[in-house]
C-alpha cells in the first residue's frame, strides 16, 4: 500500500513469536503480514488486497492434513503464487508433505535471517512482477505517544484542508482519548470503527453516505466507540482489508493514532501509510517515550523513510529547539506549530474550528499549509472514483 516498502509477504504461523522471527528476518525486503488462523477465503482475499506473491505457511504434525489442503487450495485459486512451508526441518515427513502439496521450499523455524532473506530473494527473481493497484487513495498517519485532545485537533484541521482541496477525505480517528474528533466539532455518530470492521465486506458508496458522520465541509469521520475493542486486539489482516476497502472510496485518509500503545496493528498503519507524521513537543519526558518506541521499531528493521517530525506547541526560546529535535529523532521536520494556548482552548471549548475562530492566527496558517502539503502529495496518486461520484452515477 505504501511505496516505502518493496514487497508484502503473508504468513500463517504457530504463534506471534514465530511471526516476529519472520518479520525480523525479512525486514530489509518488506513487510510480513499475518494472514490469521488459516482460512482459505481470508488468505485469498489478503493476496488480492496486498498483491503478495509469496506466502509462508506453518506446518505441524497435528494439523498437517488441513495445512497441506490450504496450500493446495491456494495454489489452485492462484497458480502463480509461491508458497514456502515453515516447520521442523528435521521432520522429513513434514518436508515431503509440503513439497507434495506444492510448496516451493521449506524453511525451518529459527533459521538464520540471511538464509531466509536469501531464499526469498532467489524466489522473487523467478516470480512474475506484481503491480500494486494505483486506484487507492492517499494515507497519512499522525502518531505520537502523547495521549491528549491536541492530536485529534490537528488531525481534524489537516483533514478538513485536504477535503476543501476537492479530494473526498476520511478522518479515521483512533487516537486516545477516544472520539475527540467528534466531540471537538460537537458531532455524534451511530457508526464507528468497530462497526466498519464487522461490515468491511459491505463498505460501499451507499453505506458510506448513510452511515459515516460528516462535518460541514464534507469531511467524513470514522472514530472509536467507547465499547470498541482496543486497537491492539485488531489483527493486521483485518486492518489491511479495511484500509484497502476504504482507500477505494476515499482519495485521502488521515489517521489519528496519537496515544496508542505499541502493537502489531499500530505498526501495520505505520508501515503502510504514504506519510507518517511523528507528533511530539519539546517536553523531554515525552520525547524520551517517543524515542523509545522509534528506536525499538528501527531495531526491528521497520522502514521509516516516509516519516517526518511534527513539533507541536513550539516555543523558540525553550530547549531543545527544532534542530536538536530533528537530530535526536533522525527525521526531517515537516513543521513546527505555535503554542497558542488561548486559541486552542477556545476552539476546544466552543466546538468550532480554528479556521472559523482565528483564521489569521499563526497556528491556523501552519495547519492550513500542512494540510495543503498533504493534499498536493495525494494529487500525484491516481485518483479513485469517489463514493460521491459513484452515487451520482447511480442516480
**Domain spans of the chain?**
7-126, 138-379
Predicted local distance difference test score (pLDDT) of residue 386: 47
Regions in the chain scoring below 70 on pLDDT: 1-6, 129-135, 378-395
Give the pTM.
0.87
Residue 7 has φ and ψ, to the nearest 5°, of -145, 160
Does the bond joining 320 to the residue before it have cis omega, within 30 degrees of 0? yes
Measured distance CA(47)–CA(234) in Å, rounded: 19
pLDDT at 135: 61
Give the integer Cα–Cα distance in Å for 74 and 12: 13
pLDDT-above-70 percentage for the chain: 92
For strands 54-58 and 169-173, give the pairing.
unpaired
- Find the helix packing angle between 362-379 and 149-164, rounded to 10°: 60
Longest Cα–Cα distance of the chain, Å, equals: 72
pLDDT of residue 132: 54
Architecture of domain 138-379 in CATH? Answer: 3-Layer(aba) Sandwich (3.40)
Strands (E), the chain: 7-12, 30-34, 54-58, 82-87, 105-108, 138-143, 169-173, 213-214, 220-223, 252-256, 275-280, 307-314, 333-338
Name which CATH class applies to 7-126. Answer: alpha beta
Burial tier of 219 (Cβ tally within 10 Å: 0-12, 13-18, 19+)? buried
Enumerate residues 6+ apart whose C-beta is below 8 A from 85: 56, 57, 58, 59, 71, 94, 95, 98, 101, 103, 105, 106, 107
Do 7-126 and 138-379 show the same overall fold? yes
pLDDT at 394: 39
Query: Which pLDDT score is estimated for 48?
Result: 87
pLDDT, tens only, 201-250: 899 999 999 999 999 999 999 999 999 999 999 988 899 899 989 998 99
| Per-residue model confidence (pLDDT) at position 297 | 95
DSSP state of 283: -
Q: Cβ–Cβ contacts within 10 Å for residue 27, how many?
A: 18
The string of pLDDT tens digits covering residues 103-113 is 999 999 989 99
pLDDT digits (tens, 9 = 90+) for 278-317: 999 999 999 999 999 999 999 988 889 999 999 999 999 9
Reported as type and span, the H/E element at residue 244 is: helix 236-247
Amino acid at each position: 500500500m505504501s511505496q516505502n516498502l518493496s514487497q508484502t509477504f503473508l504468513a500463517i504461523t504457530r504463534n506471534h513469536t514465530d511471526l516476529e522471527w519472520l518479520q525480523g528476518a525479512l525486514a530489509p525486503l518488506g513487510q510480513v503480514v499475518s494472514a490469521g488462523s488459516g482460512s482459505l477465503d481470508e488468505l485469498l482475499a489478503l493476496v488480492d488486497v496486498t498483491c503478495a506473491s509469496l506466502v509462508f505457511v506453518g506446518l505441524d504434525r497435528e494439523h498437517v492434513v488441513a495445512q497441506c489442503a490450504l496450500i493446495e487450495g491456494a495454489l489452485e485459486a492462484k497458480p502463480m503464487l509461491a508458497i514456502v512451508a515453515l516447520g521442523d526441518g528435521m521432520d522429513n515427513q513434514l518436508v515431503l508433505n509440503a513439497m507434495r502439496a506444492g510448496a516451493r521450499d521449506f524453511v525451518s523455524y529459527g533459521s538464520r535471517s540471511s538464509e531466509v532473506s536469501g531464499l526469498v530473494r532467489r524466489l522473487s527473481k523467478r516470480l512474475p512482477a506484481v503491480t500494486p493497484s494505483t486506484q487507492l487513495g492517499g494515507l497519512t498517519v499522525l502518531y505520537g505517544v502523547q495521549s491528549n485532545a491536541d492530536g485529534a485537533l490537528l488531525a481534524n484541521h489537516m483533514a478538513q484542508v485536504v477535503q476543501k482541496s476537492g479530494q473526498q477525505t476520511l478522518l479515521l480517528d483512533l487516537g486516545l482519548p477516544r472520539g475527540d474528533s467528534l466531540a471537538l466539532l460537537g458531532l455524534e455518530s451511530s457508526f464507528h470503527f468497530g462497526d466498519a470492521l464487522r461490515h468491511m465486506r459491505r463498505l460501499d458508496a451507499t453505506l458510506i453516505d448513510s452511515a459515516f458522520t460528516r462535518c460541514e465541509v464534507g469531511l467524513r469521520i470514522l472514530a472509536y466507540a467507547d465499547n470498541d475493542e482496543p486497537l491492539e486486539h485488531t489483527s493486521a489482516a483485518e486492518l489491511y482489508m479495511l484500509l484497502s476497502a476504504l482507500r477505494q472510496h476515499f482519495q485521502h485518509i488521515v489517521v489519528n493514532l496519537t496515544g496508542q500503545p505499541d502493537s502489531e496493528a499500530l505498526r501495520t498503519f505505520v508501515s503502510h501509510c504514504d506519510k507518517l507524521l511523528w507528533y511530539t513537543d519539546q517536553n523531554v519526558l515525552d520525547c524520551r517515550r517517543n524515542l523509545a518506541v522509534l528506536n525499538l521499531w528501527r531495531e526491528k528493521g521497520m522502514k521509516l523513510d516516509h516519516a517526518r517530525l511534527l513539533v507541536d506547541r513550539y516555543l523558540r526560546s525553550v530547549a531543545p529547539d527544532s534542530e536538536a529535535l530533528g537530530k535526536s529523532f533522525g527525521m526531517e521536520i515537516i513543521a513546527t506549530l505555535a503554542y497558542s494556548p488561548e486559541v486552542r482552548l477556545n476552539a476546544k471549548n466552543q466546538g468550532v474550528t480554528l479556521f472559523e475562530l482565528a483564521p489569521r492566527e499563526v497556528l491556523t496558517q501552519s495547519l492550513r499549509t500542512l494540510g495543503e502539503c498533504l493534499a498536493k502529495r495525494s494529487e500525484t496518486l491516481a485518483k479513485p472514483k469517489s463514493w460521491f461520484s459513484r452515487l451520482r452515477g447511480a442516480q
